Structure 1
Amino acid sequence: MFNANNVGYWLGGTETPPEEIPQNTSQGDSLPLFKKHFKGRSGEGAFKLETLAKEFLQQESSGAFHEASYDLYVLKSLVSSYIDNEDIFQNAKTYADPVNHVIELRRINAVLPSLKPLKGILTNSMLRKLPKENLTFDILQKKFDDKGEEGLLSTLTLLKNGKPQITKNRRVLAQISAFFKSKNVCD
């Protein structure tokens, strides 16, 4: 992890000195950046700082790795030589992002038990999409009860940012529709 504001300043990507930037604004991880730029690499230890320094900076191990100041020096050398400033800022996340991600996962996991009747009908990834869009089993049932099959399907295929909210896959939509039809016949 690194502070993206500091790295941007050190590499000349921003004019504002780090001490003038609130230190809680963003952070980044160098691993995704290196994976993007060194696509052919794989295997255990392929992205260790020591390995990257040896192969790309022609720096032999001096035994100084894992000393913070030396690691920062090597990281700065690698980043300034191989990573674009734009990529650094695009990869940066605020400190609130991981917290918000955990909150979102907890919200999804809290709703998943209500979707248990659909467990055999939908895949786990499809089931997880429903709570992301604030859809519960009760909401889907109400859509079906109030507006029939067409109301249910329009909810699932509603476009959001040009993509269907849940799915446009006809097979999946047919399975969901058949489930609610058979459920209403049984009730």
Structure 2
Amino acid sequence: MSVTVPLPTLEPSRLATPSQPLVFLDLDDVICMNNPYGGYDVLVQSHPVDLWEKLFAQDATEVLLGVLREHRPRIVLTTSWIRLLERSSFERIFLACGLGALAEALHDECEAAQNSGESRLRAIDRWLTQHHRGERYVVLDDYLSGTELEGSHIDKAGRLVLCDVGVGLQPSHVDRIRRALRG
């Protein structure tokens, strides 16, 4: 079941180019620490007044926005939130949280959804098989939901950044992200 969250609409400001790298992005424990709010808080009818200010961790989103400015990647979501939200809802959430650049960066095929009982690694591999056109890429996940990614071919290729649970994306991750997206 998908839920549409009524928020501001997105006006796309740029077109994708074939050479743009890809970022496979989990949300929980990468930019959303679920403290004080998490994905399920966006689904309730009456949102807490400060939801959009506190849904995503400022430090983590600053790192991600820096990656967007530097590399102009397209974003493919790997988060479990995909089960509950449609693309338009993600766009509206990102806009409401002041992350318009993230909303604009969503890939045309912006979801690498996991089938029931399927690993995140398998979902990413399936997306790559169907949509990858040779772009450089990096996977941003966390040690809890990305456990099967650690030690995988993605990790061995230097294309994986795992974040600590409750800490998220940090400036210390930027060099690894750069290496993955530059070559």
Q: TM-score, length-normalised on structure 1?
A: 0.26
Q: Indicate the structure (1 or 2) with the bigger Cα radius of gyration.
A: 1
Q: TM-score, length-normalised on structure 2?
A: 0.27
Q: Which has the higher contact order (CA 8 A, sep 6+)?
A: 2
